[in-house]
Amino acid sequence: MSAHRIATLLRDQPLGTTVTVNGWIRTRRDAKGFSFLEVNDGSCLANLQVIVEASLPNYEAEIARLATGCAVRVIGELASSPAKGQAVELKASEITVYGWADPESYPLQKKRHSFEFLRTIAHLRPRTNSLGAVARVRSTLAHAVHDFFRERGFFLVHTPIITTSDCEGAGEMFTVTGLDLDQPPKREGRVDFSRDFFGRRTSLTVSGQLEAEIYALALGNVYTFGPTFRAENSNTSRHLAEFWMIEPEMAFCDLADDIDVAEALLKHLVGCALTECREDLGLFARFIDQGLIARLENVLARPFIRLPYSEAIEQLKVSGHDFEYPVAWGLDLQSEHERFLTETIFKQPVVVIDYPKAIKAFYMRQNDDNRTVAAMDILFPGIGEIVGGSQREERYEVLLARLTDAGLPLADYQWYLDLRRFGSARHAGFGLGFERIIQFVTGMANIREVVPFPRTPGSAGF
């Protein structure tokens, strides 16, 4: 582990010192009497150029055979480089080959591969420039999420992955079972989950919100950041069956406070990407989306627009635009409507608030007009909905009525109602889809490129 990381060497440039680098060959070029190797160790986008003299003892037998993908250790002296585009290079005194990669069969050769092809080799794709850059941005922003909440005194709560409640009440859950699926126990013609592992039917969580509410009503401000699962059959460039969600929950907080926190978090993450991931963002701006940096800076430039749902509907109607799906009060906004609002009408992030209660989840607080709820969705250009949140219904009777109307099994939500019987308080929260913000800051067209191992309908392998 005494090796140096290339990112550190390029930053500190300790010229004249002997260093050790471990990494993978990107390219080899031969000249008379020596070879150039481009070595990448994943610590940053840039490769380190290595100069190898033909006088090295293993030059003929090994170095002259090095190909893209081989794993090597290089020991040598760091020198300033006469070549354009790089400040330093490494003059190798010793090269050890750890692992060969046969150029006949190694799939990642010099040419640019399509993202679709790279998805078929999920075990190798992080070795490409673009997917490596995404992985670094993702890691940096995950840390930035924790920094944001820690600085503001929020506590991190690990909410369960296996759950018995359907947070969104939409029934799009994956069942978790230990039953023998070939011969499940049955009662009255149906699978008898009382004989399952947990003694009842359980699922993978669609959201940590309900459990986060428990902790908000004990610790004040909390957040959860974990994997969530949806069995919806949405084969789009914005949906995954397994995605990560950041869900803060705040006691003594209303919808306006909730939006302020969400806006601050989004700006913090975009700002952090711009300052800490400059090199990787430069790659995306060059090859993926030329307007990327301007789009990111635009998010930081002004307060987000706040727009009641009813006004959003009016704006869409008067636009005269020919939408595929109808626009009418009471109907949910489709992705084409969301994008039209944020990309064409306002050209900046828009927070739509006060949606009709009939199209929103049971836990959202009913407004005094009795027909809308204190909900908010934040819409981003190029993405559509990036955040969904609300003030929660804290009144026992109103919540009971909503659960009943929604036809949800009251027995499963008794504990949730209890929070409204004992020390209930105004509270609010939201969910930010982690992959959607990564998509936004990288400009990646498909969400499958911003998660290491995409799980989508029909696809859960490598």
Q: Which residues contact Mg ion (rule: CB under 5 A)?
A: 388
| Minimum distance from residue 335 beta carbon to ligand 4AD (Å) | 11
- Which has the closest alpha carbon to 426: 391, 374, 389, 376? 391
Interacting partner of 433 out of ligand 4AD, Mg ion, none (Cβ under 5 to 8 A depending on kind): ligand 4AD
- The 3-state DSSP class for residue 313 equals helix
| Minimum distance from residue 407 beta carbon to ligand 4AD (Å) | 19
Among 221, 436, 439, 456, binds ligand 4AD (CB under 6 A): 436
Q: How far apart are CA 262 and CA 303, in angstroms?
A: 12
Interacting partner of 247 out of ligand 4AD, Mg ion, none (Cβ under 5 to 8 A depending on kind): ligand 4AD
Can residue 339 be called a binding residue for ligand 4AD (CB under 6 A)?
no
- The 3-state DSSP class for residue 244 equals strand
Shorter beta-carbon distance to ligand 4AD: residue 247 or 394 = 247
* Total residues in contact with ligand 4AD, by rule CB under 6 A: 22
Among 10, 66, 145, 167, binds ligand 4AD (CB under 6 A): 167
Q: How far apart are CA 57 and CA 310, in angstroms?
A: 76
Single out the segment in contact with ligand 4AD by CB under 6 A; choices: 5-13, 67-75, 331-339, 380-388: 380-388
Structure tokens belonging to residue 145? 């999420």
Single out the segment in contact with ligand 4AD by CB under 6 A; choices: 94-102, 242-250, 365-373, 419-427: 242-250
What is the chain's length? 462
Single out the segment in contact with ligand 4AD by CB under 6 A; choices: 111-119, 121-129, 320-328, 423-431: 423-431
| Minimum distance from residue 392 beta carbon to ligand 4AD (Å) | 8
Shorter beta-carbon distance to ligand 4AD: residue 24 or 148 = 148
Q: Does residue 73 contact residue 37 with C-beta atoms inside 8 Å?
A: no
Q: How far apart are CA 354 and CA 54, in angstroms?
A: 71
Shorter beta-carbon distance to Mg ion: residue 76 or 384 = 384
Interacting partner of 239 out of ligand 4AD, Mg ion, none (Cβ under 5 to 8 A depending on kind): ligand 4AD
What b/e string do you get for 241-257 counting C-beta neighbours within 10 Å, with b at 16 or more?
bbbbbbbbbbbebebee
Single out the segment in contact with ligand 4AD by CB under 6 A; choices: 73-81, 102-110, 238-246, 327-335: 238-246
At 75, give phi and psi (nearest 5°). -115, 135
Among 40, 47, 130, 207, binds ligand 4AD (CB under 6 A): 207
Structure tokens belonging to residue 446? 């498909």
Single out the segment in contact with ligand 4AD by CB under 6 A; choices: 87-95, 123-131, 190-198, 243-251: 243-251
| Minimum distance from residue 350 beta carbon to Mg ion (Å) | 14
What residues contact residue 415 under an 8 Å CB cut-off, 6+ apart? 214
Q: Does residue 68 contact residue 27 with C-beta atoms inside 8 Å?
A: yes
Single out the segment in contact with ligand 4AD by CB under 6 A; choices: 21-29, 69-77, 263-271, 433-441: 433-441
Q: How far apart are CA 48 and CA 78, in angstroms?
A: 10
Can residue 52 be called a binding residue for ligand 4AD (CB under 6 A)?
no
Measured over the CA atoms of residue 167, residue 459, residue 382 and residue 151, the dihedral's sign is positive
Q: Which H or E element spans position 150? A: helix 129-151
Q: Does residue 59 contact residue 31 with C-beta atoms inside 8 Å?
A: no
Among 196, 338, 354, 385, binds ligand 4AD (CB under 6 A): 385
Among 154, 413, 430, 440, binds ligand 4AD (CB under 6 A): 430
| Minimum distance from residue 312 beta carbon to ligand 4AD (Å) | 16
End-to-end CA separation in angstroms for the chain: 29
| Minimum distance from residue 397 beta carbon to ligand 4AD (Å) | 22
Shorter beta-carbon distance to ligand 4AD: residue 63 or 240 = 240
Can residue 387 be called a binding residue for ligand 4AD (CB under 6 A)?
yes
Q: Give the CA count within 13 Å in the CB-facing half-sphere of 27.
A: 11
Q: Give the CA count within 13 Å in the CB-facing half-sphere of 310.
A: 8
